[in-house]
Amino acid sequence: MSDKIPCLECEALVLPSTAERTGGLCMPCKNGTRKSMEQAKENAIKERELDKTCPFRAYWRDLVDRVYDESLGFTSLNDEEKLYYSVYVLIGEVYNGGFVQFFDNTSGAQYRYAELGLIQMQAKESLALLRKAKLSLFGNQSVPIDQEERWGVMRQMTDEPDIDNLDTEFYKDTDNLDNKTEEFAIKNGLVQYT
């Protein structure tokens, strides 16, 4: 058996036969995945550092922990916390799977809080899009808090509405929701930021 030799880029040890086929590179360097792996590691380090230093991230983690703690839950949040939490959940759900995902998941139970939060944050464009999505999926009915009931109402729609265009408009973020949620958190004393 032959001894391994170092990759010319990263110095990982590779078989001589591999090095011969790849011009002296290991397969991750040859395929370009080594750079993306290293970039992902660097990004993870930055994200962990932000988790330690950013008061908004720390506050968000605290809210999520409280909401998912069975002894506390969403009802344990004060009114401003409910609005902040619901708007952030709306943002995450829409960016992950669109308005349909927001209403389809448990997050749909917080529709009214997300709506009120957008009103308080003066996020007029996002509010209009949320209301259009609600109208497309539920008509003039209120959004049921119970998830199965929401599913039932959504399934009753004879023609599945095409609301992808609303998702696309939301992604443009004309309201700059990150800034508005941060301003809301500071104004309402949810986060101390200097």
Please name which of 115, 125, 113, 132 lies closest in space to residue 172, comparing C-alpha atoms. 125
Which comes out higher in pLDDT, residue 138 or 46?
Answer: 138
Closest CA to 121 of 166, 85, 78, 73: 85
- Residues 40-68 have a mean pLDDT of 83
Tell me how far apart the alpha carbons of residues 114 and 127 are, in angstroms, rounded to a whole number: 9
Confidence grade of residue 159 (pLDDT, cut at 50, 70, 90): low
Is the pLDDT assigned to residue 37 strictly greater than 80? no
Classify strands 5-6 and 13-14 as parallel, antiparallel or unpaired: antiparallel
* Mean pLDDT, range 14-31, rounded to an integer: 88
pLDDT-based confidence at residue 54 (cuts at 50, 70, 90): confident
Q: How many helices (H) and strands (E) does the chain have?
A: 10, 2
Contact 31, 50 (CB under 8 A): no
pTM attached to this predicted model: 0.74
